[in-house]
Structure 1
Amino acid sequence: MIKTDSRTGRLALAVAHCAGMVDLVALPVWVGTLIAHYAFDPQQAGALVTLFLVGAVLASAVFAPRFHRLRGRPAAALGFGVAAAAFFAASTTTAFNQLAVLHAVAGFSAGTGLSFTHGTIGRSANPHRLFAIVGMALGAFAVLFLGGTPQLVAALGGPVLFIVFGGVMALAAITSTLAFPVPDEESQASQSFRASGQRLPGVIWYGIAAISCMAVAQAMVFSFVERVGVDRGFGTERVTAVLIAIGLVNLFPAAIAALLQRRVDARTVVLAGPAVQGVLALTIAVSSGFEAYALATAVFVVPMLFTHTFAFGLLAKLDVTGRATAATPAMLMIGSAIGPVLGGTLVKAFGYGGLGAAALLIDIVAIVLFARLMPTTRSAEATP
């Protein structure tokens, strides 16, 4: 029986996390490819990615409440396997309607695998640390993906993107089949809470909503950073270099979050994170100079990765059953699902400036919601 504290178990969780969270890395390349190689407008391109994310949200909504009753290994393996098949099929068509269906199927399937991945992490001995470890793996994956995929797409055409996605999902299906770990044994507190039939503490929903708001702002802006650079005449080579820099920078937030777990107050992190994200979003949207655009874009994902690691640990502490953390794909992707199509609509109607202003307002809402989570967090920490 493979456990969460084993090397093989952590490797399988890391690969599954990278596959399920592919949107966090791939959004600019994904949307840019659909616009440049498939001739879709920003709203259509955003809608296709949104369908993938809506599928993931639905899967998480279905399986997160049932996490403690189902076996993770077959669910994750089957989910990622079906997602791989859907993406491989997407590489064979250019029809919008067919791509729409395949995006939705891939999203639901990948979201299934990701729900069991995050639920298993949430039921480990140190959820914050293990989530940081898989976050570091996502950073390494970002370097490889953003360093190579744009060049492959430019040389071989848009369908290559879906072949890459399919390969990533297939690898996750294989590693999940061979090494997906079982969650740690439930604590007595978890068993008692679940047996009592109580619902999750209501205040947890403030944290979930706040993370979703950050995901909306993240997806809105990140989907179009490649297009912003190209449309402002910075040149494909320089924009590609910025995308590679994103991957390199993403190696560090999760590692730093792990090191600072007991040195930095999580409450401070979750309040500061949305503020930093909002400022960076506005900078990307309105900057006319390459230097400001490049710097803000290169570090744009950092607030989300860093803040969410601390927020994940807070939610795992407030809910001992693992159900809240199993819902991580829903809380992230319900925001991400809205982001691309909302961003495309804003760009179409108001230009990139409207995109940045909207992201800043959404991040202000996230700060207010995280502030509502704080009293219960303090109470949980004070309980012996």
Structure 2
Amino acid sequence: MTVIAPSPDELPTHHTFSLIALVCVASIFFLGTPGFVVLMATQWSLTESQLGLIAAADSVGNAVGSLLMTFVLFRYNPRALVLIALLGFIAANALSAFRLDDTTMLLVRLASGVFSGVIAGLAIRRLSEGKDADRNLTWMVISQTLAIAVLLTFVLPWVGELGQATAAFIMVALQGVICLLVRTLFPAVHLQAETELSNTSAPRTASAYLALLSIFLLYVTVGVVWTFVGFMGHEAGFKDAFVETLLGGANLLSIAAISIVPWMIQRDRLFSTGIVALTLCTLAALGLSLPPQAWTYAVSTVVFICAWGTSITLLLALLPSYDKAGRMIMLAPGVLCMGSALGSFLGGQLMEMQSPAWAFRIAAICCAIAGVIVLGLGATRKR
């Protein structure tokens, strides 16, 4: 007989916070990408193209891991999966602390991403079940945003002074070790029974895929901006303290923006707020394409980070309404990681072959298309 795990509504509150903590640790490289990029560039003298490929490899791995979680691994014991994924995550990040050749580094970051994707896919699936899905997902994004602020403002600068990129990756591996304690909070039973996607009505399935497409396009933009915003500030000659404080402070402001999402959802303003947020993301990306001046760089960065956090929270909140089975929400980490990987790769290539301005312009176009899709979803819903 198959034993089914209870929904998160039946679990203690500390289990929910543990799931959120796991998501934050699993995505720590992505969350701290600007800081990691600067540390790797400084210690190992990597080019924009090399940095973009490393960020892309991690994102591709995350996508593969979450897809495996969605279509294959969901049948297996969650506690055992978390243990295996955490051990792989620890090993991959410990290896990343060394100056490896380009191919080996890409393979190691790819492997780290796969294990991260499994952890995040499992945790997000659990968070999205039950009546508190909107609240749980909002708290997840807020926690990730707070983690970004702490990482970029305090942790990575301090760790970087101790041992640059080497110390940073060792820190990530140690956090994985700590999370081995958290895995005991996962039930040693199967997740809730699956509802076949074929039972979902075609229009709602189509809408869910369009929502996923908008997440993908948003994260192509994020892949460009988030991978290179810190690096571009460094290259423009801005002081490291200015860039680190700006990125950390922007993420703290973003928490206030994200916190209004449940209020907007309750008032049926999800689509209108999403369109505004994606429009602001587009304008901010265009602002970063301008010749770098301190004020344009600062304003564009703050607006982008605040609008990005709000946009992804709203888009994630859309998915459970289209798919009660929970399969689409498990696809979300993979989709956003594929978008981020493409953005990181294209951003690095465009910056070397054309100019940073072109990279940010392409990013803005992708975000604008995402806004048009959300506009269409909102119009369809009102019919």
Alignment check: 8 A CA contact 2:145 2:252 kept: yes
Alignment check: 8 A CA contact 1:315 1:325 kept: yes
TM-score by length of 1: 0.89
- After TM superposition, the structure 1 = structure 2 runs for residues 81-96 of structure 1, keeping only pairs within 5 Å, are 81-96=87-102
Partner of 1:213: 217
Alignment check: 8 A CA contact 1:212 1:331 kept: yes
What is the percent sequence identity of the aligned residues?
17
Partner of 2:18: 12
Decide whether aligned partners of structure 1 residues 7 and 50 sit closer, same or farther in structure 2, where only a CA change above 3 A counts: same
What secondary structure, in the 3-state scheme, does the structure 1 residue paired with 2:265 have? coil
Alignment check: 8 A CA contact 1:20 1:111 kept: yes
Distance in 2 (CA, whole Å) between partners of 1:195 and 1:67 is: 20
Distance in 1 (CA, whole Å) between partners of 2:269 and 2:190 is: 27
| Aligned-CA RMSD value | 2.6
Question: Where do 5+ consecutive residues of structure 1 fail to align?
Answer: 380-384
Offset, 1:170: 3.0
Alignment check: 8 A CA contact 1:57 1:329 kept: yes
Offset, 1:8: 1.5
Partner of 2:253: 249
Offset, 1:342: 0.9
- After TM superposition, the structure 1 = structure 2 runs for residues 103-114 of structure 1, keeping only pairs within 5 Å, are 103-114=109-120
Decide whether aligned partners of structure 1 residues 15 and 268 sit closer, same or farther in structure 2, where only a CA change above 3 A counts: same
TM-score by length of 2: 0.89
Letter matched to residue 108 of structure 2: L
Decide whether aligned partners of structure 1 residues 136 and 149 sit closer, same or farther in structure 2, where only a CA change above 3 A counts: same
Decide whether aligned partners of structure 1 residues 372 and 222 sit closer, same or farther in structure 2, where only a CA change above 3 A counts: same
Q: How many residue pairs were aligned?
A: 375
1:30 and 2:23 correspond: no
Partner of 1:263: 267
Distance in 2 (CA, whole Å) between partners of 1:250 and 1:165 is: 24
Partner of 1:56: 62
Offset, 1:178: 3.0
Letter matched to residue 164 of structure 2: G
1:339 and 2:343 correspond: yes
1:274 and 2:278 correspond: yes
Offset, 1:324: 0.3
Alignment check: 8 A CA contact 1:2 1:8 kept: no
Distance in 2 (CA, whole Å) between partners of 1:37 and 1:246 is: 26
1:178 and 2:185 correspond: yes
Offset, 1:246: 3.0
1:286 and 2:293 correspond: no
Decide whether aligned partners of structure 1 residues 322 and 241 sit closer, same or farther in structure 2, where only a CA change above 3 A counts: same
1:158 and 2:165 correspond: yes
Partner of 1:382: none
Relative to structure 2, which stretch is displaced further, 212-221 or 27-36?
27-36
What secondary structure, in the 3-state scheme, does the structure 1 residue paired with 2:32 have? helix
Query: For each residue in 1:108-130, what CA deviation from the matched residue of structure 2 results, as whole angstroms up to 9, or x when unmatched?
Result: 01101111111112223221111
What secondary structure, in the 3-state scheme, does the structure 2 residue paired with 1:201 have? helix
Query: For each residue in 1:278-331, what CA deviation from the matched residue of structure 2 results, as whole angstroms up to 9, or x when unmatched?
Result: 111121231432122112213422222212222112110110000000111111
Decide whether aligned partners of structure 1 residues 357 and 167 sit closer, same or farther in structure 2, where only a CA change above 3 A counts: same
1:167 and 2:171 correspond: no
What secondary structure, in the 3-state scheme, does the structure 1 residue paired with 2:351 have? helix
What secondary structure, in the 3-state scheme, does the structure 1 residue paired with 2:136 have? helix
Alignment check: 8 A CA contact 1:52 1:103 kept: yes
Alignment check: 8 A CA contact 1:13 1:117 kept: yes
Offset, 1:93: 3.4
Question: Where do 5+ consecutive residues of structure 2 fail to align?
Answer: none
Alignment check: 8 A CA contact 2:264 2:270 kept: no
Offset, 1:372: 3.6
Decide whether aligned partners of structure 1 residues 157 and 68 sit closer, same or farther in structure 2, where only a CA change above 3 A counts: closer
Distance in 2 (CA, whole Å) between partners of 1:337 and 1:73 is: 28
Relative to structure 2, which stretch is displaced further, 247-256 or 132-141?
247-256
Alignment check: 8 A CA contact 2:160 2:168 kept: yes
Offset, 1:203: 2.9
Partner of 1:65: 71
Offset, 1:169: 2.9
Alignment check: 8 A CA contact 2:128 2:329 kept: yes
